[in-house]
Amino acid sequence: MRTVLIVIAALALLFFTFIAGMGCGLLMSGEYGFPTGDKVAVLKVEDVILDDQAYLESLSKIKEDKQVKAVVVRIDSPGGAVGPSQEIYSELRKLNKDMPVIASIGSVGASGGYYIACAARKIFANPGTITGSIGVVAEFASYEKLLEWAKVDVEVIKTGKYKDVGSPFREMTDEDREYMQGLMNNVYSQFKSAVAESRNLDMAEVDKIADGKIFTGEQAKQLKLIDETGTMNDAIDLAAKTAGIKGQPDIVYYPKKKSQFLELLQSKLDIPGITSMPSKYSFGLFYLVDIIN
Q: Which residues are catalytic?
A: 111, 163
Cα 210 from chain centroid (whole Å): 21
Burial (CB count <10 Å: 0-12, 13-18, 19+), residue 195: buried
Closest CA to 73 of 112, 40, 104: 104
Looking at this protein, which amino acid is placed at residue 236? I
**Strand positions, DSSP E, 161-254:** 214-216, 228-229, 250-254
The Cα–Cα gap between 132 and 220 comes to: 7
Backbone region of residue 166 per phi and psi (left: phi > 0; alpha: psi in -120 to 50; beta: other values): left
